[in-house]
Amino acid sequence: MRVLTLGAVALLAAAGCARVERSPDAAARSPASRAVTAAAVANAIAAHPAAADSILGAAGYTRASFQKLMYEIAADSAMSVAYAAAKQR
């Protein structure tokens, strides 16, 4: 389990996802960048569902904040396109 969690954290770091919401410049991130980050988190969770809470935490999200971001992406067509493109990788 620990290996999966560390692997997921490494994946998130490689995608530039570490501490998204807790960083002071999180609000300054572009919508497309936030959508790509969300896709990386979703990909990591899909690969390791048992580590979902660890993956979310490593990316600076809670379940509620990630769900809020997913609704934001769904409501914005440009973010949706960026998310779909990143999710397919």
Range of the domain at 75: 2-87
Strand segments (E) across the chain: none
How far is it, in rounded angstroms, from Cα 4 to Cα 24? Answer: 28
pLDDT at 89 over 50: yes
pTM for this one?
A: 0.69
How far is it, in rounded angstroms, from Cα 80 to Cα 60? Answer: 21
pLDDT in tens, 21-30: 444 455 568 9
CB 31 within 8 Å of CB 78: yes
How far is it, in rounded angstroms, from Cα 46 to Cα 32? Answer: 21
How far is it, in rounded angstroms, from Cα 19 to Cα 48? Answer: 19
CB 80 within 8 Å of CB 73: yes
pLDDT in tens, 31-53: 999 999 999 999 999 999 999 99
Domains in the chain, number: 1
